[in-house]
Amino acid sequence: CYITLTTALHLHRGGSPKGPAGTGKTETVKDLGKALGFNVIVQNCSEGLDYKSMGRLFSGLAQTGAWGCFDEFNRINVEVLSVVAQQILSILTAVSQRLTRFVFEGIEILLVHTCGIFITMNPGYAGRTELPDNLKSMFRPISMMVPDSSMIAEINLFCEGFEQTRILARKVFTLYTLAQQQLSKQYHYDFGLRGIVTLTRYAGRKKRLYPKLPDEE
For the chain, what are the domain ranges? 1-143, 149-209
Whether residue 128 is predicted with pLDDT greater than 80 in this model: the reply is no
Determine the average pLDDT of the residues in 192-212. 81
Q: Tell me the CATH number of domain 1-143, given options 3.40.50.300, 2.60.40.420, 3.30.470.30, 2.120.10.30.
A: 3.40.50.300
Give the CB-side neighbour count of residue 150, counting CA atoms within 13 A: 9
Cα–Cα nearest to 42, from 104, 109, 33: 33
Whether residue 174 is predicted with pLDDT greater than 80 in this model: the reply is yes
Q: CB–CB of 6/29 below 8 Å?
A: no
CATH number given to 149-209: 1.10.8.710
- Tell me how far CA of residue 34 lies from CA of 23, 29, 38, in angstroms: 19, 9, 6
Least confidently predicted of 18-22, 102-106, 136-140, 152-156: 18-22
Give dist(CA 42, CA 198) in Å, integer.
Answer: 21
Give dist(CA 91, CA 89) in Å, integer.
Answer: 5
Indicate the residue type of 18: K
Give dist(CA 12, CA 138) in Å, integer.
Answer: 9
Whether residue 155 is predicted with pLDDT greater than 80 in this model: the reply is yes
> In degrees, to the nearest 5, what angle opens at C-alpha 22 toward C-alphas 84 and 155?
145
Q: CB–CB of 116/58 below 8 Å?
A: no
Give dist(CA 215, CA 217) in Å, integer.
Answer: 5
Determine the average pLDDT of the residues in 140-167. 83
Mean pLDDT, the chain, integer: 85
- How does DSSP classify residue 163? S
Comparing 193 with 76, the larger pLDDT belongs to 76
Whether residue 185 is predicted with pLDDT greater than 80 in this model: the reply is no
Q: From edge to edge, which strands make up the β-sheet containing 14-18?
A: 40-44, 67-71, 116-119, 14-18, 139-143
Model confidence, pTM: 0.71
Q: Would you state the pLDDT for residue 116?
A: 92
